[in-house]
Amino acid sequence: MNVLLIGSGGREHALAWKLAQSPLLGTLTCAPGNPGIADLAACVSLDPSDHAAVIRFCRDHAISFVVVGPEAPLVGGLTDALAESGIKHFGPSRRAAMLEGSKGFTKDLCREYGIPTAAYGRFGDAAAAKAFLGTQRFPTVVKADGLAAGKGVVIAGSRAEAEAAIDACFSGAFGAAGAEVVIEEFLEGEEASFFALCDGAAVIPMASAQDHKRVGEHDTGPNTGGMGAYSPAPVMTETMTARTMNEIVRPTVDAMAARGTPFKGVLFAGLMITADGPKLIEYNVRFGDPETQVLMMRLKSDLLVAMLATADGTLGQVELEWSDDAALTVVYAAEGYPGTPRKGTEIRGIDAAGALDRVEVFHAGTKAVDGRIVADGGRVLAVTATGRTVAEAQTRAYEAVDRIDWPGGFCRRDIGWRAIGRT
Ligand code: AMP
Ligand code: GLY
Q: Mark whether 216 and 173 lie in a shared domain.
A: no
312, 297, 301, 401: which is closest to 350 by C-alpha?
Answer: 401
Q: Mark whether 266 and 207 lie in a shared domain.
A: yes
Structure confidence by residue, pLDDT tens digits, 58-92: 999 999 999 999 999 999 999 999 999 999 999 99
The reply to whether ligand 1 has any atom less than 6 angstroms from the CB of 187 is yes
Q: What number does the ligand 2 atom closest to the CA of 289 have?
A: 4
Q: What CATH number did the domain enclosing 17 receive?
A: 3.40.50.20
Residue 386 resides in a domain: yes
Structure confidence by residue, pLDDT tens digits, 400-420: 999 999 999 999 999 999 889
Structural domain count, the chain = 4
The reply to whether ligand 2 has any atom less than 6 angstroms from the CB of 252 is no
Q: Mark whether 44 and 142 lie in a shared domain.
A: no
Q: How far is the CA of 209 from the centre of ligand 2 (A)?
A: 11
State the ligand closest to the CA atom of 280.
1
Residue 185 resides in a domain: no
The reply to whether ligand 2 has any atom less than 6 angstroms from the CB of 228 is no
Residue 217 resides in a domain: yes
Residue 190 carries which side chain, given as an amino acid letter? E
Structure confidence by residue, pLDDT tens digits, 245-288: 999 999 999 999 999 999 999 999 999 999 999 999 999 999 99
Instruction: Please report, rounded to a whole number, the percentage of residues in the chain having pLDDT higher than 70.
Output: 100
Residue 418 resides in a domain: yes
Q: Mark whether 194 and 259 lie in a shared domain.
A: yes
CA torsion, ordered 180, 185, 188, 192, to nearest 10 deg: -30
Q: What CATH number did the domain enclosing 330 receive?
A: 3.90.600.10
Q: Mark whether 235 and 282 lie in a shared domain.
A: yes
Q: Mark whether 141 and 198 lie in a shared domain.
A: no
The reply to whether ligand 2 has any atom less than 6 angstroms from the CB of 291 is yes
- Average pLDDT for residues 101-125, to the nearest whole number? 96
The CA-atom distances, in angstroms, between 377 and each of 39, 149, 296, 335, 349 are 19, 14, 23, 10, 18
Q: Mark whether 341 and 266 lie in a shared domain.
A: no
Q: Mark whether 293 and 222 lie in a shared domain.
A: yes
Residue 119 resides in a domain: no
Q: Mark whether 221 and 271 lie in a shared domain.
A: yes
Q: How far is the CA of 135 from the centre of ligand 2 (A)?
A: 31
Residue 98 resides in a domain: no
The reply to whether ligand 1 has any atom less than 6 angstroms from the CB of 191 is yes
Q: Mark whether 244 and 306 lie in a shared domain.
A: yes
**What range does the domain containing 31 cover?**
3-93
The reply to whether ligand 1 has any atom less than 6 angstroms from the CB of 211 is no
Q: Which of 317, 343, 358 is the last residue of a domain?
A: 317
DSSP string, 301-335: S-HHHHHHHHHHT-GGG----B-SSEEEEEEEEET
The reply to whether ligand 2 has any atom less than 6 angstroms from the CB of 9 is no
Structure confidence by residue, pLDDT tens digits, 149-199: 767 889 999 999 999 999 999 998 887 887 899 999 999 999 999 999 999
Q: What CATH number did the domain enclosing 202 receive?
A: 3.30.470.20
Strand 3-7 and strand 28-32: the pairing is parallel
DSSP string, 164-225: HHHHHHHTTTTGGGGSSEEEEEPPPSEEEEEEEEEESS-EEEEEEEEE--EEETTTEEEE-S
Alpha carbon nearest to ligand 2 atom 4, residue = 288
Residue 227 resides in a domain: yes
- Average pLDDT for residues 135-152, to the nearest whole number? 88
Given this model, what pLDDT does residue 423 score?
A: 58
State the ligand closest to the CA atom of 282.
1
Q: What number does the ligand 2 atom closest to the CA of 284 have?
A: 5
Q: Which of 179, 213, 244 is the last residue of a domain?
A: 179
